[in-house]
Amino acid sequence: MRDRQNARKRAQELVAQMTLEEKASQLRFDSPAIPRLNIPAYNWWNEGLHGVARAGVATSFPQSIGLGAAFDRELMRQIGSVIAVEGRAKYNASSAQGDRDIYKGLTFWSPNVNIFRDPRWGRGHETYGEDPYLTGELGKQFVEGLQGDGEYLQAAACAKHFAVHSGPEALRHRFDAKASAKDMRETYLPAFEKLVKEAGVEAVMGAYNRTNGEPCCGSKTLMQDILRGEWGFEGHYVSDCWAIRDFHENHHVTDTPEESAAMALKAGCDVNCGSTYLMLLKAYEQGLVTEDEITQAAVRLFTTRFLLGLFDETPYDQIGYDQLESREHLALADRATAESVVLLKNNGILPLDQKKLKAVGVVGPNANSRAVLVGNYHGTSSRYITVLEGIQDLLGDEVRVYYSEGCHLFKDRVEGLGHRQDRISEAVSVAQNSDVVILCVGLDETLEGEEGDTGNSYASGDKQDLLLPQSQRELAEAVLAVGKPVVVLNMTGSAMDLRLEQEKADAVVQTWYPGARGGAVIAKLLFGEISPSGKLPVTFYEDTEDLPDFEDYSMKGRTYRYLEKDPLYPFGYGLTYGDVQVTELTLPEKAQEGEGLKVTLRAENRSQTATQEVLQVYVKALESENETPNGKLAGFARVYLAGGESREFEIDLDPNALTVVDQTGKRLVEGRRFSVSAGTGAPDRRTESLTGRKSVTKVLEL
């Protein structure tokens, strides 16, 4: 068990030996060395959303949204641990050479537990999806895996971006996200609360925008009243990068850099990613901050450094360079890819039987793309395996594999001197000469991502609509018109308008950004070596007409909990090659308010194909006007069933499953009757029509 009290005492003693200037210098993300006190330089900025990022070679996992689609707590804990181990290996190697550069430290600014409330948001694929309970459960496991349970922190996790942050990217430096008390407590805050109170996350990062009028990196409400006051957070707070500068330049809540620095520090922001804290000494001279306030922030930061064991000998010092991309870590990445892929449609064509095929066509701008494998905030892999390469490797010389890029990812031609859509005729020829076509469409981080990090400058990383780029829509129509069987792989980090593909393709598969070697696993899924088992962590709407305005942060009409119209593909949906059905649901005879709630399900695989499945439980208060219109996910478990196997599974439900949040933001139990639904998807009409089966539903009474 880590001794925070002792670490804090040591931090206080060390900081007490510093001058005011030295204390202030340690509040920068690139904290300089203080040689006279034997303090080395330390850079707080490191990234690890789905593998150690931006610091050279490390194991590459699927992007976070794909990890969300796995609905697998154990997997998340193991991935967090691998990231920490590889981070330690890199830290040990680089610091031994005196290299203390950016992305070389042990404070990882991950996970992103914002709610993916709108599919247009370019950064949504950094999150675990649209559901607060799923996000909190997976985020908790990631943090606990990353930080470990030893005497010292294995690495330090950071919950970001606190708190109401999900676009638009173009407006984030001046935007005021207005959320009701109900939406705050029901949707935007729960995952952060869980990570603070249950996972002991060491850091929290503020968002760029304002929330209900206050800049998130200078918000008394968020940082003092809720985070430290109500939740008892004891770690350190970091600003998003150059967010404090926005106080005076864009939000106009202050007039000078000194005032901005003072506002952030007084609210409790300990480390500044940016340069505004260079003005702290001037702010001190102007009487805007006190030395005690600077000291308090420095003590919090050195408490984290002592908890990491950076001034001691620790067992982690022995983690060697051989841990990077170890066989075990790469196998875990493959498992993550296999669990993340979501089968959206299958008319029976999948899995493909290679014995019946003479030629396979692989077509599309993402078929042989490395960029689409890794999403954003990624590291470097020593090997990349694209979908094309994965299929070629799996089929060997037994089946001919034809390939065409088909079109540019978004431009109207591949070759600058070529005619418009200069690769479509080749794609049609490939389709004509193939027994089946694997059509690989989608986006990559140049089209959806973070403002400033993306080539999608016209939308700052956000999507303007849910359509694939025009070049790809024309390619899809041309290939589908040939009349050969077509399997569409949608390689994106977010929901797209796939109505054409759903109507005309033989199968539709959502691969997300599957990791550097993901093409090999996808090939195995297509040819039946693995059964797909991922579930959608977000709703796939038909188009943006089904959505409120992007800048509207009210949850009305958003996500499966508040949806007013049937979606194209619902939250929690995903097919397998098996046929798992929930046949029985057993509730406790009498539920007691405030007690842990368990339900028992019997699930049966009515096929002869072994598969993993995600069993899901949804709860809705039947006598409350404050319940979400469609109820909420309250429990889930990833299970394995052999062909023909029937088993019972016990599932723990969310402790808040029987509660609702009223308009004042108060969480309470309202009413005595609750519907409890269990199945392999959500209990909605669209899931029923796509799967041909209903959830088992019973009424629970308090």
The residue behind tokens 């899995």 is: 351
Which residue among 240, 334, 444, 654 is the active-site one?
240
**What is the three-state SS of 330-394?**
HHHHHHHHHHHCEEEEECCCCCCCHHHCCEEEEECCCCCCCHHHHCCCCCECCCCCCHHHHHHHH
- Main-chain phi, psi angles of 604, to 5 degrees: -130, 130
601/571 Cα distance (integer angstroms):
21
| Crossing angle for the helix pair 387-395 and 518-526, to the nearest 10 degrees | 60
Enter the tokens of residue 206.
């503020």
Q: Which residues pair with 575 in a beta bridge?
A: 343
Among the residues of 433-558, which ranges form H helices?
470-481, 499-504, 518-526
3-state DSSP call for residue 89?
Answer: helix
Catalytic site includes residue 240: yes
| Dihedral sign, Cα of residue 682, residue 687, residue 693, residue 694 | positive
Q: Which residues contact 123 (CB under 8 A, 6 or more apart)?
A: 112, 114, 166, 167, 169, 376, 449, 450, 461
276/271 Cα distance (integer angstroms):
10
Is the bond preceding 161 in cis, omega lying within 30 degrees of 0? yes
204/138 Cα distance (integer angstroms):
17
Which residue among 183, 334, 448, 684 is the active-site one?
448
574/424 Cα distance (integer angstroms):
31
Is the CB of residue 7 less than 8 Å from the CB of residue 306?
yes
499/689 Cα distance (integer angstroms):
15
| Crossing angle for the helix pair 327-340 and 73-96, to the nearest 10 degrees | 140
The residue behind tokens 């968020």 is: 222
For residue 488, the tally of other CB atoms under 10 A from its CB is 28
For 4, the enclosing helix (H) or strand (E) is helix 4-15
Enter the tokens of residue 538.
């977000």
261/248 Cα distance (integer angstroms):
10
Residue 24 Cα distances to 90, 158, 176, 262, 267, angstroms: 28, 22, 30, 12, 16
Is the CB of residue 110 less than 8 Å from the CB of residue 165?
no
Query: Is beta strand 203-206 parallel, antiparallel or unpaired with respect to 236-238?
Result: parallel
Beta strands in 459-549 (DSSP E): 486-491, 507-510
Q: Which residues participate in catalysis according to the annotation?
A: 240, 448
